[in-house]
Amino acid sequence: MQNKVDWKKYIIVLVITILLFLIAGALSGFFTDKKLQSIRTVQDKIATDILSSETQYSLLSELSCEDIGQGNLSDELNSIADKIAYSEQNLKYSDEVIELKKYYTLLEIKDYLLSKKIGERCGKRTPTVFYFYTTAENCTLCTKQGYVLTELRSKYPDLRVYSFDYNLDLSASNALLRIYDIKDTELPTLVINDKTKVTGFKSVADIEKLIPTLVKMKKDAEATSATSTKK
């Protein structure tokens, strides 16, 4: 009879296979950590930038508006927002992602406060939208609202969108929830230019109606570029 079974081999193969899986898991963990690390690095940079702008602002109260280096902070915040959203969906270390998200929320609020101050002094108010959503339940309207805001942001680069997760347990964002009296039954909720609170899903056209300055700003910008090309 030729039918011999080498059990040792079956066990060796099992051990090797388990090892390979462990290596795959370790590699996955390593690169995931790298990703989270990269978010943290960018956030730290933004924090430094905001702090620097604030300090600059306090130091030189007579600073001319053009000199205040606000830069593209908001753009960077947006790119971080995309990465955090992606991480929430795809990475397993959710605790760490939540920490990053808290940090991000704080940066958003600071960015908002600073740009508000600068706007008041320099008389140039940029339109802002606070967007409150939830991740706790399957909120399809929130997903749709997210798409609308992304679309608006690419259409009107001057628009500042700050998104806040209703379920994020952070005192600063809880304060915002209290200030604007946000209820979890009314999500998604938008607060436009600090004043107008609207609840439920709003389309691109709805929001354009709510912020007439947006369309005007865009037209002005286009007119300027049109005249400049004529020269």
Catalog residues that contact another protein under the rule CB under 8 A: 1-6, 9-10, 12-14, 16-17, 20-21, 23-25, 27-28, 31-32, 34-35, 38, 83, 86, 90-91, 140, 143-144, 147-148, 150-151, 154, 203-204
Q: How many CB atoms lie within 10 A of CB 98?
A: 18
- As measured in angstroms, the least distance from the Cβ of 30 to another protein is 8
Short-list 168, 163, 137, 136, CA closest to 150:
163
Closest approach, Cβ 146 to another protein, in A, equals 9
The 3-state secondary structure of 20-64, one letter per residue: HHHHHHHHHHHHHHHHHHHHHHHHHHHHHHHHHHHHHHHHCCCCC
- Give the distance between the most distant pair of CA atoms in the chain: 98
Q: Give the nearest distance from C-beta 88 to another protein in angstroms.
A: 13
Residue 178: CB minimum distance to another protein, A: 30
177 in Cβ contact with 144 (< 8 Å): no
Residue closer to another protein by CB (options 118, 148) is 148
Nearer to another protein, 84 or 176 (CB): 84
- Closest CB to another protein among residues 21, 181: 21
CB count, 10 Å around CB of 110? 18
Q: Closer to another protein at the Cβ: 150 or 199?
A: 150
| Residue closer to another protein, measured from CB, 52 or 203 | 203
- Minimum distance, C-beta of residue 27 to another protein, in the bound complex (Å): 5
Task: Give the position of tokens 């933004």.
Answer: 46
> How far is CA 186 from each of CA 88, 166, 195, rounded to the nearest angstrom?
23, 11, 17
